[in-house]
Amino acid sequence: MNVVVLIGRLTDNPELRHTNSNISVTRFSIAVDRGYRSGEERQTDFINIVAWRQTAEFITTYFKKGQRIAIEGSLRMNRYQDKDGNNRTSYEVVVNNAHFIETKSSSNGGFTSAAEQAQPASFSNTDSGDFAEIVSDDDLPF
């Protein structure tokens, strides 16, 4: 079974491209922190990612450099010869699903705009005009 699940940060803005047959594709990399123990130095892996069709369009529309992303896909190995004739191997993850990990405001480094701060923390679709305000606990029937 070839299943890869990664959570990391985009290292650059993903760019939408099209093949000769007009299929959408994007290639980018994400920085994924390795697990570490207390006292050890953190290490980061940079993983190459490719997404096709609607998934590519979704990622390029909604994700930007530095934003956290969850990727579910499969590992693909590519073998090729470089310009000097040397055999090379590269690996990339082909995306099946991409998911948001953080809210839009937290992806700005935790800073929220004035418009976001002015929004209520919750939303109710009911009309509160049918209810009278209770001023004192003594007025409660129980």
Q: What is the pLDDT of residues 78-94, one digit of tens each?
A: 999 999 999 999 999 99
How far lies 65's CA from each of 107, 108, 127, 132, in Å? Answer: 10, 11, 41, 50
How far lies 110's CA from each of 8, 27, 53, 57, 76, in Å? Answer: 17, 27, 32, 26, 35
Q: What percent of the chain has pLDDT over 70?
A: 73
pLDDT in tens, 36-77: 888 888 899 999 999 999 999 999 999 999 999 999 999 999
- Judged against a pLDDT cut of 80, whether residue 138 lies above it is answered with no
Q: Which two tokens stand for residue 51?
A: 């997404």
Higher pLDDT, 135 or 65: 65
Q: What percent of the chain has pLDDT over 90?
A: 64
